[in-house]
Chain A
Amino acid sequence: MSHVAAVERRSGISDTLSDVFFARPKLLTLLLLLPPLLWIGIVYVGSLFALLLQSFYSLDDFSGLIVHEFTLSTYAQLLEEANVQIIIRTVSMAALVTLACAVIAFPIAYYAARYARGWTKAMFYLAVMMPLWSSYLVKVYAWKLILAKEGILTWIAKGLHLSWLLDGILALPVIGGPSLSFSYVGTFLVFVYIWIPYMILPTQAALERVPLSYIEASADLGAKPKQTFWTVIFPLALPGIIAGSIFTFSLTLGDYIVPTIVGNSRLMIGQAVYTLQGTAGNVPLAAAFTVVPMVIMGIYLYVAKRMGAFDVL
C-alpha cells in the first residue's frame, strides 16, 4: 500500500487562490458582488438619479433650451389640469388592470398550486409562459384586429345575437367609443391580456407554499371553506398577489405602446413622456412624469407593508 500524506502540499495559482478564498470567505463574496453592484449602482440607480435631477430643471419656453438651474416650476407644470388628467387616467387604468389581473389570475394560480400535477402542471407553465415568448408588438396588433369594428369579436357577438351588448358597452360614456379598438375597454382588455402572466406566477408561487395541512387545520377548527379562504389562504397568498400587482401596476403605468395602438387619442403617462422628450423636447417635464409612477409605487408598497401584507415573508 502506498503512503498517502494526511496534508496535501500542492502549489499553483489556482491552488493558491483557492486557499486564499477558503481562508477569507468575505473576500470571495465581495469579488462576486462587485460587478453586479457596480452595474446596479451605475446603470440603474445612477440613471434614475440623473432622471430625478432632470425633473428639477426647467425648459425655457422662448429658446426651447433646458435651463440647468434648480427649480420646482416643472412640478408646478406637472400639476396643471391637463397633466393631472393624464396622471389620473393612467393610474385609474393601472389600478383597474391590476384588480382584474388579480381576480382572473387567482383561480388559475390556485388550480396550478393545489391540483395540477405532472403533465397538467407542465401544461400550465407552458400556457402561462408561451404568450411571453412571442413579440409584444405582434400580440398588441393582433388584439387591434380582434377588437376592430370588423373584427372577430364583433362577428362572434353578431353570431350569438349579442350585438346589443357590444353596442351597449361601446355606448357607455368615457369607457366606450366607436369600436372596441378605439375605447378604454379595448385598452383595458389588452393590458390585462399582456400582463396577466406576471400576476399568475407570483400568486402561484405564494400558494405553493401553503400546505394542505393549513387548510385542513382551519376546517378542523370549525372554519367553513369561505372563512378558511379569507383567514388563511388569502393572507398567505397576499405577498404573491402584491408582488404580481407591482408588475402589472408599474408596467401599465409606464407603457405607451398599448394605448397608442389600441385606445382613444387621450394620452397616458407613457405616451406623454414619449411625446415630451421627443417632439416637444421638454425633458424636464418628461422626467417629472416618470417620477409619478415611482412615487405611487413607493406609497403603495409602504401602505401594503403597514397593512401587514409582508408579515409572512
Chain B
Amino acid sequence: MAQPMSPAVRFVSCCRHFGQVRAVDGVTLDIAEGEFFAMLGPSGSGKTTCLRLIAGFEQPNEGHIEIFGETAEGVPPYKRNVNTVFQDYALFPHMTVGENVAYGLMIKGVPRAERNAKANAALAMVKLAGYEGRRPAQLSGGQRQRVALARALVNGPKVLLLDEPLGALDLKLREQMQEELKALQKELGITFVFVTHDQGEALSMADRVAVFNDGKIVQVGSPADVYERPRSRFVADFVGSSNVLPPEFASRHGGAAKWTSLRPEKIGVFPAGKKIGDGEDHADGVIKMISYQGAVTRFSVETGDTRLNAETAAGETNFKQGDDVRLIWPRSAMVAMEGGA
C-alpha cells in the first residue's frame, strides 16, 4: 500500500553501470506528486538513464527506487503505471494515429468503442481531433509529438516521463509546445518528469530542476534557485553560461575568496572611466568580440587577468571591437559557490 505522503518517485543511492561507465552514480532524489520536474544536464550526464530507471527499461545495479511508495526495481515496464513520451516519438508506423493512441487501452482489453472514444478525446486534448485515421508518416514533427503525448496520457499514468520531447522541433513550435505542456500538466495534475539538455526549457517549464553531471545530481532546486544561486562552477556555467570568477579575482572585487558566479546580464558595459556607484564594482578591459543576438547584445571583454562576458538589452551599440570599456556590476550579483569544482 502506498502511504499518503510518499513521493511520486524516490531514488535512494541509485547506481546504473554499463561496463566501466557509471551512467548513474549514486542518485538520491524525491520527486513530489503533481510536480513538473526537469532533469537537466549535458549528454551523457545520466539524466536519460534516470528516466529509463523510472520507466523500467533499465534496472539499478545498486540502490532503490520507489514509485508512489512501491518498490520499482525488478518490476518490468509493462507493470508500471508510468508512461513515456520518447525522444523519437516511437509511433508505430503500421498503425493509424487512432490505433497508436488506443494501443495501451487495447492491450488492457478495453472494448473497441470505448477505447476509440477515449483515444479521440485524448487527440482532441492535444488539438489533433479528426486525425485518428491518418498514418504517423503523414504528420509533421510537431503533430507526431502531440500524438506521442496523447498515446501516453490516454492511459492515465501516475507519472509521465518525457525524454527530450521537444528536441526535434523548430524554435517557434518548441516555445508553443512548452506553454502547452505546462498548461496540460497544470490541468491534469499528473507528475511530469522531463529530461532536457536545454536550460531555457528546464527553467521556463519546471517547478524544480535537478542538474546532472557525470551521473550525479549536482544541484536540485527551483529554477530561480538554480539560476540565481548556483552552488558549483559546473551549474553556473551550464545553466545560463555564467562568468565563473576565480577566488582571487572575486576577493579583489569585493566578493569572498571563493569561486564566484556573475551573470552576464548583471554586467553593464560603459565607456572607460565611467564613475561607479555605491555597492558596485568594476573591471576595465578591451572588447574582443561583440555578438548581436536580437534581444540582447553579448560582449566578450578581456580584463587583463580574466575574460568576462556581458549582455545588454538590445538596441544598437556604439561600441566597436577593440574599444576600451568599463564593466560595472552590483556586488550583490556576485554569488560565491561552494567547493572548487
Do A and B associate with each other?
yes
Q: Measuring CB to CB, which residues of chain A are less than 8 angstroms from any residue of chain B?
A: 211, 213-214, 216-224, 227, 231-232, 235-236, 308, 311-312
User: Do B107 and A222 touch (CB < 8 A)?
Assistant: yes
How many whole Å from A132's CB to the nearest CB in chain B? 31
User: Do B155 and A216 touch (CB < 8 A)?
Assistant: no
- Nearest B residue to A215 via CB reads B90
Whole-angstrom distance between the alpha carbons of A213 and B51 in the complex? 14
Whole-angstrom distance between the alpha carbons of A216 and B83 in the complex? 11
Most B CB within 10 A of own CB, among A211, A236, A312: A312
User: Do A222 and B90 touch (CB < 8 A)?
Assistant: no
Whole-angstrom distance between the alpha carbons of A224 and B78 in the complex? 6
User: Given that A220-B55, A220-B83, A221-B103 are contacting pairs, would A214 and B108 also be in contact in the complex, using a CB cutoff of 8 Å?
Assistant: no
Whole-angstrom distance between the alpha carbons of A213 and B108 in the complex? 20
Question: Interface readout for B26-57 with A: 1 if CB under 8 Å, 0 if not?
Answer: 00000000000000000000000000000111
Question: Interface readout for B252-267 with A: 1 if CB under 8 Å, 0 if not?
Answer: 0000000000000000
B240 at the interface (CB under 8 A from A): no
User: Given that A218-B103, A220-B55, A222-B104 are contacting pairs, would A235 and B84 also be in contact in the complex, using a CB cutoff of 8 Å?
Assistant: no
Whole-angstrom distance between the alpha carbons of A251 and B111 in the complex? 44
User: Do A220 and B93 touch (CB < 8 A)?
Assistant: no
User: Do A211 and B90 touch (CB < 8 A)?
Assistant: yes
Whole-angstrom distance between the alpha carbons of A216 and B88 in the complex? 12
How many whole Å from B210's CB to the nearest CB in chain A? 22
How many whole Å from A161's CB to the nearest CB in chain B? 42
Whole-angstrom distance between the alpha carbons of A221 and B87 in the complex? 16
Chain B residues with CB under 8 A of A216: 55, 57, 77, 84, 86, 90
B16 at the interface (CB under 8 A from A): no
How many whole Å from A234's CB to the nearest CB in chain B? 10
Whole-angstrom distance between the alpha carbons of A8 and B90 in the complex? 50
- Nearest B residue to A219 via CB reads B77
User: Given that A220-B84, A221-B155 are contacting pairs, would A214 and B76 also be in contact in the complex, using a CB cutoff of 8 Å?
Assistant: no
Chain B residues with CB under 8 A of A223: 78, 103, 107
Whole-angstrom distance between the alpha carbons of A224 and B104 in the complex? 11
Contact of B88 among A211, A221, A235, A312 (CB under 8 A): A211
B151 at the interface (CB under 8 A from A): yes
User: Do A312 and B103 touch (CB < 8 A)?
Assistant: no
User: Given that A213-B88, A227-B107 are contacting pairs, would A220 and B77 also be in contact in the complex, using a CB cutoff of 8 Å?
Assistant: yes
User: Do A311 and B94 touch (CB < 8 A)?
Assistant: yes
B270 at the interface (CB under 8 A from A): no
Chain B residues with CB under 8 A of A235: 94
Instruction: Supply 11 further A-B pairs (C-beta < 8 A) apart from A213-B86, A236-B94.
Output: A211-B90, A218-B103, A219-B76, A220-B55, A220-B57, A221-B104, A221-B151, A235-B94, A236-B93, A311-B94, A312-B94
Chain A residues with CB under 8 A of B319: none
User: Given that A211-B90, A213-B90, A217-B84 are contacting pairs, would A222 and B76 also be in contact in the complex, using a CB cutoff of 8 Å?
Assistant: no
Chain A residues with CB under 8 A of B92: 214, 217-218, 232
Chain A residues with CB under 8 A of B155: 221-222
Whole-angstrom distance between the alpha carbons of A222 and B76 in the complex? 9
Q: What would be 5 A-B contacts, judged by CB atoms less than 8 Å apart?
A: A213-B87, A218-B92, A220-B83, A231-B107, A232-B92
How many whole Å from B209's CB to the nearest CB in chain A? 24
- Nearest B residue to A239 via CB reads B94
- Nearest A residue to B154 via CB reads A221
Instruction: Tell me which residues from 293 to 325 in chain B have a Cβ below 8 Å from any Cβ of chain A.
Output: none
How many whole Å from A284's CB to the nearest CB in chain B? 45
Whole-angstrom distance between the alpha carbons of A221 and B102 in the complex? 10
How many whole Å from A207's CB to the nearest CB in chain B? 14
User: Do B83 and A221 touch (CB < 8 A)?
Assistant: yes
Instruction: Tell me which residues from 50 to 81 in chain B have a Cβ below 8 Å from any Cβ of chain A.
Output: 55-57, 76-78
- Nearest B residue to A213 via CB reads B90
Chain A residues with CB under 8 A of B151: 221
- Nearest B residue to A216 via CB reads B57
User: Given that A222-B78, A222-B155 are contacting pairs, would A214 and B107 also be in contact in the complex, using a CB cutoff of 8 Å?
Assistant: no
Whole-angstrom distance between the alpha carbons of A231 and B105 in the complex? 13
Whole-angstrom distance between the alpha carbons of A219 and B104 in the complex? 9
Minimum-distance CB pairs A-B, first 10: A221-B104, A217-B90, A213-B90, A219-B77, A222-B107, A223-B107, A220-B84, A312-B94, A235-B94, A219-B78
Most A CB within 10 A of own CB, among B82, B90, B104, B151: B90
Whole-angstrom distance between the alpha carbons of A211 and B93 in the complex? 11
